[in-house]
Structure 1
Amino acid sequence: MKQHLPNFVTLLNLFCGCIAVILAVHSNFVGAAFFVFLGIIFDFFDGFLARILQVQSALGVQLDSLADMVTSGLVPGIVMFKLLTLATETPALQSTHDWGDSMHWANVHVAVIPLLGLCITLGSAYRLARFNIDEDQQSYFKGLPTPANALLILSLPLILEFQNNDTMNAIIINEWFLLALTVLSCFLLNAPVKLFALKFKDWSFKNNAIRYIFIILSFVLLIVLQFAAIPLIILLYIGLSLVTKTY
């Protein structure tokens, strides 16, 4: 029975991802962000349970990546698609008979630029596939983990919704910024850079100093800057990994 418990938690991650997809498609970004965050929590605890119960399996690894593909791969791609649609002020999908700068299938108008946001989903898929066949990534990651990337992308609509800052809003609702972030996201997901994993083999500060420092600084940033802190936390994560090289 205990060998199935981590996989059940992984399926809860996938279930949250499915709900987040539905909410994101309907532009309910706050609800989508909530279920992605909940899914990421399940994603953390399924591996933790597997290690504690000593029931790691090849099935669990594959199932985990499949769940992450939805929660942390598909959802941020849809969110970026929606943000680019908002930034370009062009309906991404609508019925039309006119020929312009868009693609057309059976009288359906498809704006090209918003579709580029889905490159995040493609980059996530490639990153997860590489992770599954890479036996080295046990105590560290190569490239930005998909959950961290999902939080980065989902922080944008949360900043728009709750920060009420005209400068930040103007930056976020800028198609060139969004396109640049899409390219950066795809690069970071698959960059040949080693980043420490938040996996605790024990709870001692000596063996997990970098993890505790990262968690404490992240909480401080969140308290001070709220959702605007999330991009800075991602930069902090990358910076600490490069400086300390503790894996």
Structure 2
Amino acid sequence: MSLIKRQIPNFITLLNLLSGSVAAVLAVQGDLGVATLFVGFGIFFDFFDGLAARALDVKSDLGLQLDSLADMVTSGLVPGIVMCQLLLQSIDSYMDLDFLSSEVNWMIFIGLIITLGSAYRLAKFNIDERQTESFIGLPTPANALLILSLGLILEYHPESFLIPLIENTYVLIFISVLSVLLLNAELKLFALKFKNLNFKENWFRYFIVIFSIVALLLLQFVAIPLIILTYIMLSIALQSKT
């Protein structure tokens, strides 16, 4: 029975990996909406595997490594593929007709720097003892949601003011580079884990949760980049006061 108990968190982590693997296949096929749904499943499982490990008191080094490997697929590989797809669409729409096809094909792989940056960030996380109560750099799930939201906005909000930016090849390259920098920046960001319900100690967590819900209800997928930006700016503001 104890063996089964120890494996429950690992099984949940494998569901994260399975979700990410399905999302990767869908992203390659260009089905970005459903791919995002499966990434959402993966992030859900990623949250609950740690919760299960703490509740059952069965945290292990194996679970830590398995968690990072699963995140590498769900929150590292998939957003890289999605950015490649977005770059491909932008190049087809906006690049000069005389642009050499071989160069175009290579340019789309710039999106994979997001995958490389995610791998580096996850490796650092495993050995960085400073990240027990907060994050140093943007967490890979948050970054994945940021990148995947661009495809959702493109598909479901064609009238959004963000569309011209998402369809611009050079803006997408800039976002890819910025993503890598945010993932690995020496930037302290607060975690959303509530140790207690005390408002004074957790007001910023309550704020970001309520803000996210309201923004999603009003703006739907367009709200996701705004939520990530607000989270980063609020974290910086909190650090400036300490």
Give the TM-score, by structure 1 length.
0.89
Amino acid corresponding to residue 158 of structure 2 in structure 1 = N
Cα offsets for 1:170-221 (capped at 9, x unmatched): 2211101100100100000000001111223334434432212111111111
State how 1:1-247 maps to structure 2 within 5 Å.
1-89=4-92, 100=100, 102=102, 111-165=105-159, 167-245=161-239
Match of 2:96 in 1: none
Long gaps (5+) in structure 2: 94-99
Residue 244 of structure 1: how far off its partner (Å): 1.8
Alpha-carbon distance in structure 2 between the residues aligned to 1:168 and 1:228: 8
Alpha-carbon distance in structure 2 between the residues aligned to 1:63 and 1:240: 31
Alpha-carbon distance in structure 1 between the residues aligned to 2:187 and 2:70: 24
Alpha-carbon distance in structure 1 between the residues aligned to 2:146 and 2:128: 24
Give the TM-score, by structure 2 length.
0.91
CA contact (8 A) 2:153 2:160 kept: no
**Structure having the larger proportion of residues in helix:** 2
Long gaps (5+) in structure 1: 91-99, 104-109
Alpha-carbon distance in structure 2 between the residues aligned to 1:202 and 1:63: 29
Alpha-carbon distance in structure 2 between the residues aligned to 1:161 and 1:55: 42
- Percent sequence identity over matched residues? 57
Is the alpha carbon distance of 1:149 and 1:35 closer, same or farther for their aligned partners in structure 2, counting shifts above 3 Å?
A: same
Amino acid corresponding to residue 182 of structure 2 in structure 1 = L
Structure 1 runs (4+) greater than 3 angstroms displaced? 100-103, 202-207
CA contact (8 A) 2:165 2:171 kept: yes
Residue 166 of structure 1: how far off its partner (Å): 5.5
| RMSD, matched Cα | 1.9
Amino acid corresponding to residue 223 of structure 1 in structure 2 = L
